[in-house]
Amino acid sequence: MSKEDNKENGAQSVSRRDFLRKAGTYSAASLSGAAMLLSNPKPAQATTNVEWAEHFQKNYRLMTEEEKQEALDRLEKRYSEEFGKEVTVDGSPAMDGVLFGYALNIQKCIGCRRCAKACVAENNQSRGDEQQIEWIRVLRLEKGQFSADDRDNAGYPGDYGIQVGGNAYKPAGVVLEGQHYYEAEQVPEKDAFYMPMQCMQCEKPPCVKVCPVQTTYRDPDGIVVIDYNWCIGCRMCIGACPYWARRFNWGEPSLPAEEMNPVTHYLGNRPRMKGVAEKCTFCVQRTRKGRWTACVEVCPVGARKLGNLLDPESDVRKVLETKKVFRLRADLNTYPKFFYFMD
Ligand code: SF4
Ligand code: SF4
C-alpha cells in the first residue's frame, strides 16, 4: 500500500501500538478489546497454540503479499484444527472495474427474515442465548398515509401548537416508528410493511473516518471491510454509523463447529474474537468470486438485487435507471451504495 493510498483512506497512518501508547485519554473500557487480545490470546477451546505473530501482525492492508499469505496459511491451520474440518481463508482483493451496489424492493419484502438467518449461517455470526449477532435488521413499520386532514387537524396535541412527541402528523403518543423486534405469527401482516437494513457500504463512511487505528477501510470495490486482528474494540465506528450496521462481540462468539461455514475470507466471515466489531461485507467471500450474496439467494420474493454499478447491464444499474429509488439518510452525505426502490 502506497503513501498515496494511505492518504486516500483518510487521516495519517496511525499504528495500533502508537495509538495504544497515546491513548491515556481513552477510557479503560474502550481499550478492553485490545487488552483482552494481548493478555488472553485465545480461550481454552482452541486445540492449537495461537501464535503471537497473529496479534502483532501489521494491519492487513499494509502487509506485503508474502506476509498476507503467511497470515492466511496460519489462520487456515488454526481454524481447521479448532473446528475439526478443512477451513479455507481467502484473501482475494477487489476485482478491477467492479463497484458493488445493492438494491432492495421495499414493496416486495414480506418481512420473513430469511435473509437475516441466511446471513448468520453464511457469515459465521455468533448465535445462542448469550450473544446473538445478526448483521441484517428487518424493521416492521405501520402502513399509513399522511393526509391533509391529519396535517391540519391532528398534528398537534390540544391547543398548545407545539409538537411534544409521536409522529409529526399524528397526535402525540401514536407510535409509527419501526419495530426492530417483531414476532409475527405470519407475514406479511395486513397493516405492516418491512424495511431490511444492513451495512450500506457508504462511499463516505463515517465509521472509517472515526476509526483511530484504521482497522476499517473502504476497498476499491466499494466494500467497507474490517481487519479484526487490528480492531482495538473502542466501538467508535458503532457510534458513528447512522444505519446501526455494526455489531460488537462483547463476549467470545458462540459458533458451533458443526454449523461453521468453512469457506471464509480474511476480511469477511472468518471466525471473530471477543472485543471486535463486525458487519455486512456484501458476502466478500462470495462476491469476489462472482457469486450472489446469501441474502440475495435466499429471498423468496426476489426483493434483493446485487450488481456492479460500473456495468450498465447490471441489475442494480437497471433498477437505478427505471425505478423510484431512495437512499436512507441521504441528508448525511454518506452516499450509501444500498438503494431502496419501488416499482
Ligand atoms: S450481503 Fe451477505 S453479509 Fe451482507 S447482509 Fe447479505 S448475506 Fe449478510
Ligand atoms: S428474505 Fe426477502 S422478503 Fe424476507 S425479510 Fe429478507 S428481504 Fe424481506
Q: Is the dihedral of CA 252, 255, 257, 260 positive or negative?
A: negative
Q: Looking at the CA of 119, which ligand is closest?
A: 1
Average pLDDT of the chain? 84
Residues 22, 37: Cα–Cα separation, whole Å: 18
Number of other residues whose CB lies within 10 A of the CB of residue 328: 16
Ligand 1, CB within 6 Å, residue ranges = 119, 122-123, 135-136, 198, 280-283, 293-295
For residues 231 and 277, the answer to whether their CB atoms sit within 8 Å is yes
pLDDT digits (tens, 9 = 90+) for 199-234: 999 999 999 999 999 999 999 999 999 999 999 999
Query: Which of ligand 2's atoms lies nearest the C-alpha of 304?
Result: 7
Radius of gyration of the chain (CA): 22
Asked if residue 5 has pLDDT above 90, the reply is: no
CA–centroid distance, 295 to ligand 2, in Å, is: 8
Give the pLDDT of residue 22: 57
Residues 298, 51: Cα–Cα separation, whole Å: 38
pLDDT digits (tens, 9 = 90+) for 289-327: 999 999 999 999 999 999 999 999 999 999 999 999 999
Question: Helices H, strands E: what count in the chain?
Answer: 12, 12
- The 3-state DSSP class for residue 325 equals strand
Asked if residue 281 has pLDDT above 50, the reply is: yes
pLDDT digits (tens, 9 = 90+) for 79-107: 999 999 999 999 999 999 999 999 999 99
Q: Which residues contact 224 (CB under 8 A, 6 or more apart)?
A: 199, 201, 202, 205, 207, 208, 216, 217, 218, 279, 281
For residues 243 and 340, the answer to whether their CB atoms sit within 8 Å is no
Give the pLDDT of residue 173: 42
Give the pLDDT of residue 157: 53
Q: Which residue among 114, 122, 286, 298 is best mutated to probe the pocket of ligand 1, counting the most ligand atoms within 8 A of its Cβ?
A: 122
137 lines ligand 2 (CB under 6 A): no
DSSP-derived secondary structure for 137-190: EEEEEE-----HHHHHHSSSSTT--S--SS-TTS-TT---SPBSS---SSSS-T
284 lines ligand 2 (CB under 6 A): no
CA–centroid distance, 120 to ligand 1, in Å, is: 9
Asked if residue 45 has pLDDT above 60, the reply is: no
pTM over 0.85: no
